[in-house]
A and B are shown apart, each in its own frame.
Chain A
Amino acid sequence: MTTTTQVRTAVVARGLTKVYGQGDAAVHALRGIDVGFAAEEFTAIMGPSGSGKSTLMHCLAGLDTVTDGQVSIGGVEITGLNDKQLTLLRRERVGFIFQAFNLLPTLTAEQNIRLPLEIAGRQADQALFDRVIETVGLRDRLRHRPSELSGGQQQRVAVARALISKPEVIFADEPTGNLDSRSGAEVLAFLRRSVRELGQTIVMVTHDPVAASYADRVVFLRDGLLVSEVQRPTPQAVLDTLMALEA
């Protein structure tokens, strides 16, 4: 149970602007976004295609540079860090779940899960490892290679990998985009459980209203601007907001 009176923010963006290209060919992907993501909360970012949601995530995670504005993760300002510092920051504080190609084909499930820790040269907390494995239900699949796992299982391995290093925040980019609805539901349930039970902070980009409904809060983007948000969403509420945006 989390009964903190004062909500800590894990990720904050101020006046975030991203412009691709120059002059006439310039594309304004983000036009000054102010947003915060509370710790131990599951937030979904939604928006129509081209609204800038993936760009926002990449900028928040320090994968891409920003044109203007600031981003801080866990109180550390990341805009202005060089590539090496950003890499180390990702190593220590950020977890990722991608839509596909999440795992290294040469490594077993367990090796994939431990990979971020090994890159950082840290030891896995065995209790946490066991707990994560139980949570995602992969105990009997640890020795398998990705090619021997189903799509849903592969994504669960990716979730476990993101969880194992206890990052400040996990960014998930369409984590269920390639899954059938049942596997997708499973993965989303794990994400929600990891927020509830492990106190993880998750920011997820999705275009699926059902997926978004697993989150605690949904923020909506259109044309590079934050335009709306829904607390404790239901699929219908999300859909309605989207329809309103598309109109």
Chain B
Amino acid sequence: MFRTTLAGLLAHRLRLVLTSLAIVLGVGFIAGTFVLTDTIDAGFSQSFAADADKVDVVVTPKDDTERDGNLPESALAAIRAVHGVKDAQPMVSGDAPLIGKDGKVVGDYPTAGVSIPASRIKITSGRAPSAAGEAVLDKNTAKTQGLAPGAAVTVLDRAGKRQEFRLVGIFDVGIDQNLAYRGAVAFTPDSARRVTGAKGFTEIDVVSSGPSPESLRTAVAAAVRDAKVVTGRERADEVAKRNHMDTSFIRLGLLLFGAVALLVAALVIYNTFNILVAQRMREMALLRCIGATKRQVFGSIVLESAVVGLLSSVLGLLTGLGLGAAAVAVLRAIGTDIPTGTVSLSPQTIAIGMCTGVVVTMAAALLPARQATRVPPVAALRTQVEEHAFRTGVVRVVIAALFVLAGAGLTAAGMLQKPGQAALLTVMAGGVLVFFAVLILGPVIVRPLSGLAGWVPARLFGVPGRLAVDNSRRNPKRAATTTVALTVGVTLMTFMAVLTSTVRTTVNGQLDQQFPADYILSAQTGTIPRSVADTLRASRDLAAVTEFRGKKAKVNGREFEVGTVTQSAIGTAIKPEASSGTMDGFGAGEVAVADYVAQDLGVKVGDTVTVTSGGRSTPLKVAAVLKADVSLLPPFTMAEQAFERHFGRVDDTQVLVDAADGVAPERARKVVDDATAAYPAVKVGSTTEIRGQFDEAIDSILMIVTGLLALAIVISLLGIANTLSLSVHERTRESALLRALGLTRPQLRGMLSVEALVLGLVGAIVGVVLGTVYGWAATATLTEKVAFQLPIGQILIFIAASGLAGVLAAVLPARRAARASVVGALAAS
């Protein structure tokens, strides 16, 4: 039996190549994910280890101390006094907002101001800072700002004053993601502390003069209190582990997409094996005739799937290695600062890849294998394999109905729940059940759907078109499985498209409605002097200037941001939305609370909360609970006067500016820019810009997700190609007959293309409907007031692309069908 199976496999090489390609891609993606994350992990570990070797003992503040709890300056002297310490270098870090060419601070976040021990800093050009007036800049910032050693750089110190330094070198931040993101200026320790105002050190690196790191660690630990003292190697392991958590997150996300791809691959394999079994009915029957038991027939199919699974998994692993290497290369090419080790397949990756590949393939082949055992020996003697007419079974409909009911019930329950994660998960669970119902009902719905999808092609392409539409639903089970594979990808894509476009319109709409403004002023560090708002208010080109202020304070014993907003703006320039109570007539003794905080503290409208700070207590009555999804207001908002009475004169954190009607944007912008020119830390953003950034962020998320889902689509296209080529094989006689009757080669090719088009469209239609319905259901669980937005353009693109992809999948099978000689095919009876 074993030999028969292998011989059969070899005989159907080409067919199995298509099948295994599905698994190769799925396993390849998963293996590639591991290869990529392993490589990054390894790279980090290597560079940490390299760093660790330069330092014997690392002293850091205790993890549980508060944020500002740096190592005291006395610690440095204490450590230096420890016997066996050759050198101890402190590390300082804080903010040193770099001022760019436009006179404004650079970036969204303040540039970091640091001092890095000479032994650790990686200077790429120039030298490390050694005098008070010297600084070095990180590679990326230097590049974007066009600064080179010798240039002068200006940063803002803690007090907001300009400080000029001479750039003496460029350095590489290496693996520090925080510095890489913010950009960094490095100074001598003294300068760093002067500029950033940081007290104490964030780290002290100790180099041994002889003792082993372990014994030195014990000695140092005895010298400093309230500090964590570890050896360089321990520190490296720790950081590597923390970093590993980050890559685990990426890995998990990518694996989810890999799982989707494998699910689709499983559908494709299930379908292929089903068709193979149907085609080899006579072969099976012959085996039964000559004495093979049902068990042996079953075993032979399962064995076949195991061999296919094994081979494709091996290929998949190699593909994964290639994909991982390619991803690493791309990451490097686009300049991501990740250290990369050597690309390799770890034993774990190999084990996971092989297991998933083989298990998925074998599991998908189980049902077809069972089907094969049902072939009676007498079938070998029948001359013609009759086509199985599909009948809608009652059981099928009942089971599907149960799934639909359960799914719809869960979905409805989720939508009726309070918006939140639980509601979303309930809706998703409902979606999975409904998807199963679609899977079960597939053969039933594929007929009318192909009629619908084929309505235009059947009329457009004449006889071949009509025949193609008929053919597409000829074997409903096969058509259904083929299209469902495509449906999976299209559903998820549509789902994401609906979700993102709805979130976009909802957020934009609410921002517009509640906080209509043309410009938003914010301070990168510190606050905005009140004089800015006063200057702006004096301009006739501006209609409304709304100031936001805030301070940290204890409310009912817990620390929160308590703020206020220009009194006259409430209800006019800004219209915060209350879920209960109202801000109308907001007065001195009142407070508006953000909903999530209200829930946290268990306060509601009418309750009294007490704001405490600086030894002063103010009781306030809750006048409104505000929806906080899109709000510029702090957790607690007091009336302007009451705020001032409690906190004194506080500068603005944010200023909203609305241009007067009829004023040209350039003119309004100039007024705002002029008013803030003296304050480099104050950044001006126009709401259109901000919206553009928001849109861009959403678009890129959608693009990444769509790109990752494309793999599932590609695999399902392999399924379509597979199904078609098997159908072409089955219908060799028919095609020959049609050719004899006068169908031209292009017409025959066209016929198969139309069939594939119809299959693609059916898959897309089901996917688009499911995706839209569940996208809608999911958005309902996000917030209470959702502006549902159907991305019609994108959905049409999905449908058109699916149809087109189907046609593409038909190219090879169609060519084969058209190339076959009429006589040869006729003789093949």
A binds B: yes
Which residues of A line the B interface, CB within 8 A?
A: 54, 58, 61, 63-64, 83-84, 87-88, 90-92, 96, 98-102, 104-107, 115-116, 118-121, 147, 173
Contact B737 A88 (CB under 8 A): no
A149 to B470: give the CA distance in the assembly, Å: 19
Contact A107 B826 (CB under 8 A): no
A201 to B733: give the CA distance in the assembly, Å: 25
In-complex Cβ contact of B741 among A90, A101, A106, A147 (8 A): A90
B470 CB contacts on chain A under 8 angstroms:
106-107
Contact A101 B742 (CB under 8 A): no
Known: A87-B743, A147-B387. A104 touches B738 (CB 8 A): yes
A39 to B698: give the CA distance in the assembly, Å: 75
Contact B467 A120 (CB under 8 A): no
Contact A63 B822 (CB under 8 A): yes
Contact A106 B474 (CB under 8 A): yes
Can you list the 9 inter-chain pairs with the closest CB atoms, starting with the nearest?
Answer: A91-B742, A106-B470, A101-B733, A87-B744, A64-B823, A118-B463, A63-B822, A58-B823, A119-B742
A101 to B733: give the CA distance in the assembly, Å: 7
B738 CB contacts on chain A under 8 angstroms:
104, 119
A107 CB contacts on chain B under 8 angstroms:
467, 470
Contact B742 A120 (CB under 8 A): yes
Known: A100-B829, A102-B737, A118-B463. A83 touches B745 (CB 8 A): yes
Q: Shortest CB–CB separation between residue B609 and chain A, in angstroms?
A: 75
Known: A87-B739, A119-B463. A98 touches B745 (CB 8 A): no
Known: A98-B737, A116-B742, A118-B463. A63 touches B823 (CB 8 A): yes
A59 to B387: give the CA distance in the assembly, Å: 32
Can you list 9 A-B contacts (CB < 8 A)?
A64-B821, A83-B745, A84-B744, A87-B743, A99-B829, A104-B738, A106-B471, A115-B741, A119-B747
Known: A87-B745, A88-B742, A107-B470. A121 touches B462 (CB 8 A): yes
B821 CB contacts on chain A under 8 angstroms:
64
Q: Shortest CB–CB separation between residue B694 and chain A, in angstroms?
A: 53
A87 CB contacts on chain B under 8 angstroms:
739, 742-745
In this assembly, does B237 line the interface, its C-beta being within 8 Å of a C-beta of chain A? Answer: no
A91 CB contacts on chain B under 8 angstroms:
741-742
Known: A63-B822, A64-B823, A101-B733. A119 touches B743 (CB 8 A): yes
A64 to B739: give the CA distance in the assembly, Å: 12
**A54-B827, A100-B829 known; 19 other A-B pairs, CB under 8 Å?**
A58-B823, A63-B740, A63-B822, A83-B744, A87-B743, A96-B740, A101-B829, A104-B734, A105-B387, A106-B471, A106-B474, A107-B467, A116-B741, A119-B463, A119-B738, A119-B741, A119-B743, A121-B462, A147-B387
Which A residue's beta carbon lies closest to that of B744?
Answer: A87
In this assembly, does B386 line the interface, its C-beta being within 8 Å of a C-beta of chain A? Answer: yes
A58 CB contacts on chain B under 8 angstroms:
823
In this assembly, does B389 line the interface, its C-beta being within 8 Å of a C-beta of chain A? Answer: yes
Max chain B C-beta neighbours (<10 A), residue from A91, A101, A104: A101
Q: Shortest CB–CB separation between residue A24 and chain B, in angstroms?
A: 22
A118 CB contacts on chain B under 8 angstroms:
462-463
Which A residue's beta carbon lies closest to that of B474?
Answer: A106
A101 to B471: give the CA distance in the assembly, Å: 16
A70 to B829: give the CA distance in the assembly, Å: 29
A106 CB contacts on chain B under 8 angstroms:
467, 470-471, 474
In-complex Cβ contact of B737 among A83, A101, A121 (8 A): A101
A46 to B811: give the CA distance in the assembly, Å: 42
B474 CB contacts on chain A under 8 angstroms:
105-106
Q: Shortest CB–CB separation between residue A213 and chain B, in angstroms?
A: 26
A119 CB contacts on chain B under 8 angstroms:
463, 738, 741-743, 747
B829 CB contacts on chain A under 8 angstroms:
99-101
A100 to B740: give the CA distance in the assembly, Å: 14
A87 to B464: give the CA distance in the assembly, Å: 15
Contact A147 B745 (CB under 8 A): no
A66 to B467: give the CA distance in the assembly, Å: 31
Max chain A C-beta neighbours (<10 A), residue from B386, B745, B822: B822
A102 CB contacts on chain B under 8 angstroms:
737
B744 CB contacts on chain A under 8 angstroms:
83-84, 87-88
Contact A104 B743 (CB under 8 A): no
Interface residues of B in 442-467 (CB under 8 A from A): 462-463, 467
A104 CB contacts on chain B under 8 angstroms:
467, 734, 737-738
Q: Shortest CB–CB separation between residue A12 and chain B, in angstroms?
A: 21
A63 CB contacts on chain B under 8 angstroms:
740, 822-823, 826
Which B residue's beta carbon lies closest to that of A93?
Answer: B742
Which B residue's beta carbon lies closest to that of A64?
Answer: B823
B827 CB contacts on chain A under 8 angstroms:
54
- Chain B 246-267, CB within 8 Å of chain A: the 1/0 string? 0000000000000000000000
Contact A90 B826 (CB under 8 A): no
A96 CB contacts on chain B under 8 angstroms:
737, 740-741
Q: Shortest CB–CB separation between residue A50 and chain B, in angstroms?
A: 13
Q: Shortest CB–CB separation between residue A159 and chain B, in angstroms?
A: 14
Interface residues of B in 55-103 (CB under 8 A from A): none
- Chain B 461-492, CB within 8 Å of chain A: the 1/0 string? 01100010011001000000000000000000
Contact B386 A147 (CB under 8 A): yes
A92 to B470: give the CA distance in the assembly, Å: 25
Which A residue's beta carbon lies closest to that of B746?
Answer: A84
A102 to B386: give the CA distance in the assembly, Å: 15
- Chain B 795-823, CB within 8 Å of chain A: the 1/0 string? 00000000000000000000000000111
Interface residues of B in 367-389 (CB under 8 A from A): 384, 386-387, 389
A3 to B742: give the CA distance in the assembly, Å: 33
Q: Shortest CB–CB separation between residue A87 and chain B, in angstroms?
A: 5
Max chain A C-beta neighbours (<10 A), residue from B738, B740, B741: B741
A54 to B826: give the CA distance in the assembly, Å: 11
B734 CB contacts on chain A under 8 angstroms:
101, 104-105
Q: Shortest CB–CB separation between residue A97 and chain B, in angstroms?
A: 10
Known: A101-B829, A106-B474. A90 touches B733 (CB 8 A): no
B384 CB contacts on chain A under 8 angstroms:
100
Q: Shortest CB–CB separation between residue A96 and chain B, in angstroms?
A: 5
Q: Shortest CB–CB separation between residue A102 and chain B, in angstroms?
A: 7
Q: Shortest CB–CB separation between residue B458 and chain A, in angstroms?
A: 12
Which A residue's beta carbon lies closest to that of B741?
Answer: A116
A104 to B734: give the CA distance in the assembly, Å: 7
A92 to B822: give the CA distance in the assembly, Å: 17
- Chain B 385-396, CB within 8 Å of chain A: the 1/0 string? 011010000000
A201 to B739: give the CA distance in the assembly, Å: 21
Contact B463 A115 (CB under 8 A): yes
B389 CB contacts on chain A under 8 angstroms:
147
A83 CB contacts on chain B under 8 angstroms:
744-745
B747 CB contacts on chain A under 8 angstroms:
119
A83 to B737: give the CA distance in the assembly, Å: 15
A101 to B741: give the CA distance in the assembly, Å: 13
A197 to B829: give the CA distance in the assembly, Å: 33
A9 to B402: give the CA distance in the assembly, Å: 70
B822 CB contacts on chain A under 8 angstroms:
63-64
A64 to B463: give the CA distance in the assembly, Å: 24
A58 to B825: give the CA distance in the assembly, Å: 12
A107 to B469: give the CA distance in the assembly, Å: 12
A61 to B739: give the CA distance in the assembly, Å: 12
Q: Shortest CB–CB separation between residue A58 and chain B, in angstroms?
A: 5
Which B residue's beta carbon lies closest to that of A84?
Answer: B744
A61 CB contacts on chain B under 8 angstroms:
740
A147 to B467: give the CA distance in the assembly, Å: 17
Max chain A C-beta neighbours (<10 A), residue from B467, B733, B738, B745: B467
Interface residues of B in 725-756 (CB under 8 A from A): 733-734, 737-745, 747
Which A residue's beta carbon lies closest to that of B386?
Answer: A147
A9 to B119: give the CA distance in the assembly, Å: 104
Which A residue's beta carbon lies closest to that of B822?
Answer: A63
